[in-house]
Copies of this chain bind each other. A is one copy, B any other.
Amino acid sequence: MAGNSFGRIFRFTSFGESHSEAIGGIVEGFPAGVKLDFDFINSEVERRKPKNTYSTNRKEEDVVEFLSGLDNGKTLGTPLAFQIRNSNIRKGDYAELQDLFRPSHGDFTYYKKYGINSSSGGGRASARETVSRVVAGALAKLFLRQFNIEFESEIVEIGGIDYTQNKAEAEQRLQEALQNKDSLGGIIKCTIRNIPAGLGEPVFDKLSAVLAHAAMSIPSAKSFEIGDGLESTKRNGSQDIDHWEETNGTLTNHSGGIQAGISNGEDIVFRIGFKPIASIGTLRCKNKEGQIIEVANQGRHDLAPIFRTGVIVEAMAALTIADFIQAHKTDK
């Protein structure tokens, strides 16, 4: 059913498949009268583009066109619709896969859900849709500028190797994967600064729960940790308490800035783990008759998409915070 929206007040509704005419979306709840910084939006889109030898060689022009909600570049308070044309459609790449279910892909599950077999190379399951998230997230960041709220992401692990400490080792692991036409995942840490206390709802819509929802909606996400995450589960309670500072805030931030589901004003910190993508050199597919068929992967995919994922993580974080900032206006 309708499940293409994220947020309640600051709300993003997404459309588009990997090979449709365009992808894009509608952002509601952006207040009126704000001059949009289009350079910033474009720079965010740029951050998502293929970067290095470990990235896909699909050329994505990604020209963002705004369709509504603006008057001379200023927001009207009405829905901000935007599109990015899919200029570089090469359906031919996927012709061979037409009637096959790739392993660990969405082909089979989409077939079970919708009853059809899309020839569109993964369609809406493709990470292509994340460019729309980046645009919407950039809008959320622009909305949050007035509150000085900032978002930062960094790769903390690649293929199980601590990327903050052992970059040489990680580089070697990447080279090996490249040669083997294999792929690697990793972990991204995101920090949100200058967040006001009081964001989040008591029971189901805890800030941590909605951040987890946002995080796990990103393609390939496998794990979510708030604050010290799994480390916290191993400690004694006495070691995990964030004691008050005499003046302001807390001495530690084990909780990652969220207590009882509501922000306490400390930095919000969370980590998302991403699996290595399954679109590697050779794919052992299945057809509808149940036969296993080996196909050499022709699609243009990332061996280590994690280099492009940080801006998507930040986008989902920004959309989450923007919505809670709006919702918080109604608490008192």
A328→B160 contact, CB < 8 A: no
- In the complex, whether A5 has a CB less than 8 A from a CB of chain B is yes
Which residues of chain A from 170 to 207 have a CB within 8 Å of any chain B CB? 177, 180, 182-187, 196-206
CB distance from A112 to the nearest CB of B (A): 4
B204→A76 contact, CB < 8 A: no
A216 — which chain B residues lie within 8 A by C-beta? Answer: 206, 208-209, 211-213, 224, 226
Name the segment of A36-44, A47-55, A61-69 touching the other chain. Answer: A61-69
A221 — which chain B residues lie within 8 A by C-beta? Answer: 208-209
B332→A330 contact, CB < 8 A: no
Which residues of chain A from 23 to 79 have a CB within 8 Å of any chain B CB? 23-26, 28-29, 31-33, 65-71, 74, 76-79
Known contacts: A3-B202, A78-B202, A330-B330. The answer to whether A113 contacts B262 by CB under 8 A is yes
* Smallest CB-CB A-B distances: 6 pairs: A106-B260, A160-B234, A3-B201, A183-B237, A3-B205, A237-B276
- In the complex, whether A90 has a CB less than 8 A from a CB of chain B is no
Q: Mark A257-291, 1 if CB is under 8 A from B, else 0.
A: 01111111100000001111111100011100010
B213→A331 contact, CB < 8 A: no
A29→B11 contact, CB < 8 A: no
> In the complex, A199→B112 CA distance in Å?
9
A241 — which chain B residues lie within 8 A by C-beta? Answer: 103-104, 278, 280, 284
B103→A68 contact, CB < 8 A: no
Would you list 18 pairs from A and B whose C-beta atoms are within 8 A, ordered by A residue?
A: A5-B13, A15-B81, A17-B68, A23-B68, A24-B81, A78-B202, A106-B262, A113-B198, A124-B202, A157-B233, A211-B216, A222-B230, A222-B232, A222-B233, A233-B274, A241-B280, A243-B284, A254-B275
Can you add 15 more A-B contacts, CB < 8 Å, to A3-B201, A15-B69, A160-B234? A4-B201, A15-B67, A78-B123, A104-B241, A104-B242, A109-B198, A124-B203, A159-B235, A180-B236, A211-B216, A212-B215, A223-B223, A237-B280, A243-B284, A327-B330
A237 — which chain B residues lie within 8 A by C-beta? Answer: 177, 182-185, 275-280
Q: What is the copy number of this chain in the assembly?
A: 4
B32→A182 contact, CB < 8 A: no
The one of B123, B184, B290 that contacts A76, using a Cβ cutoff of 8 Å: B123
A109→B264 contact, CB < 8 A: yes
A11 — which chain B residues lie within 8 A by C-beta? Answer: 2
A225→B222 contact, CB < 8 A: yes
- In the complex, whether A20 has a CB less than 8 A from a CB of chain B is yes
The one of B15, B224, B229 that contacts A212, using a Cβ cutoff of 8 Å: B224
B16→A67 contact, CB < 8 A: yes
CB distance from A124 to the nearest CB of B (A): 4
The one of B29, B109, B157, B258 that contacts A197, using a Cβ cutoff of 8 Å: B109
A247 — which chain B residues lie within 8 A by C-beta? Answer: 290
> In the complex, A122→B221 CA distance in Å?
33
- In the complex, whether A250 has a CB less than 8 A from a CB of chain B is yes
> In the complex, A214→B160 CA distance in Å?
27
CB distance from A213 to the nearest CB of B (A): 4
